[in-house]
Amino acid sequence: MTLTQPDVTVVIGAYEAMPYLVECLASVEAQTLDPTRIEVIAVDDGSQDGSGDCLEEFAARAPMAVTVIRQKNSGGPSGPRNVGLGKAAGRYVFFLDADDRLGAEALERMVAIADRNGTDVVLGKVEGVNRSAPKSMWRKTVDRTDVYSSNIKFTLSAQKLFRREFLERHGMRFDESLWTGEDALFTMEAYLRADGVSVVADYTCYYLVGRDDGKHVTKSGSYTLRFDSARALMGLLERMVPPGPKRDVLMVRPFLVTLLPQFGPVFLRNTEDERRTKFELAKPLMDAHWNEGVAQRLKVHERLRLYLVAVQRPDLLKDVVEFIKAKSEPKPVLKKGGTQLYLAYPHYRSRKAGVPDRVYLAEPREAKAYPGWRQDPAETFLRQATRKVRRRLRRLKKRLTPRPGGTAAA
């Protein structure tokens, strides 16, 4: 009998995953994709709660091929994922966390859109269960996009469908030296290298489950690990993307998602030693990667806090964070006939503080919420012209891009 290559290898790394693992495995068993087209590589990472036995029981009854690997604890999710990827035989690979679960049609839909469009990465809509989940990238199903022209940069978890040949060709593996953010590094590299990314937004493919015991990896660990994660992701972007607007667009992600939360309300609860350490850890990152291109893409309160980190002013930052925590509203200040709007957060126009006015200047997407602000006519014309050129270039690129299994559109 000739063995056919499975369409998907589902890699499950399990550590102390009970009882969540039961529903996780049930969601794999319930897939509408033919079980002969699925293989499962499950890695028990030294669990002591029966997770390994649960995986063995599943392997004995499951309608698809299941391989269970039991190993000593590796200390993080990267090791089990790399082991599973090394054993995978499927055309695609999907990394499923043992405390989460799949929608019944998830694999079938994701394989179909990848095959139809020849894309290397597929994002399936994620829904949070007892926790939040990213939302901005699920507005519509997209056959083909990239990391620059969409919001996919704000979902860098590993729970995506990846073309395995693509991963192998680039020698991609998870960084086992990182204790958090290893998935962000892997996924961002995949986005940058991919020949197209597809988005399934009309069906919930993945249920991101919040654990009652608080053991989810993103909730644990020292704050210093977040700086390690930011450093690694910023370094990747520096290596792979030339300086300029494209790098700035992507650099927003580590600044906004990884660094900025360290200088929010939690900063007020930190000891003086912790605050000083945070500023010390942030300084080389700000010196190397903070610039006007990144700053202009942020809201005023985000930009202001990161600016104060960049200039090493924890005293001023404390006032700003207290203002934000109290849910105070900054006074809007209109200038130049209403075409410029400044938000008067603490230290606005203070000579002693010396923060430049431009830090408080709201970009149009934020300013439009305030009565009295109006778009500068010259800027409106320039934006419209730029959008028109971009649309024409996209249409031309679509016409010239070869279709999977065929030639470019006529």
Best CA proximity match to 178, nearest among 170, 169, 168, 188? 188
Catalytic position from the list 97, 183, 228, 248: 183
The dihedral region occupied by 274, where left means phi > 0, alpha psi between -120 and 50, and beta the remainder, is: alpha
Is the distance from CB of 124 to CB of 31 less than 8 angstroms? Answer: no
Q: Give the separation between CA 264 and CA 284, rounded to whole angstroms.
A: 20
Tokens describing residue 299: 């809201």
The dihedral region occupied by 47, where left means phi > 0, alpha psi between -120 and 50, and beta the remainder, is: beta
Is the distance from CB of 181 to CB of 230 less than 8 angstroms? Answer: yes
CA–CA–CA angle 40, 176, 57 (5° rounding): 25
Q: Give the separation between CA 302 and CA 239, rounded to whole angstroms.
A: 26
Q: How far is CA 230 from the centre of its chain?
A: 12
Is the distance from CB of 13 to CB of 45 less than 8 angstroms? Answer: yes
Tokens describing residue 125: 């809509």
213 is a catalytic site residue: no
Q: Give the separation between CA 135 and CA 139, rounded to whole angstroms.
A: 8
CA–CA–CA angle 75, 81, 82 (5° rounding): 95
| DSSP 3-state of 73 | coil
Q: Which residues, in sequence order, are bridge partners of residue 68?
A: 42
Q: Give the separation between CA 276 and CA 282, rounded to whole angstroms.
A: 10
Q: Give the separation between CA 109 and CA 124, rounded to whole angstroms.
A: 9
* Residue 356 CB coordination number (10 Å): 8
Q: Which residues, in sequence order, are bridge partners of residue 122?
A: 161, 198
- Indicate the residue type of 322: E
Is the distance from CB of 27 to CB of 12 less than 8 angstroms? Answer: no
- Residues serving a catalytic function are 183
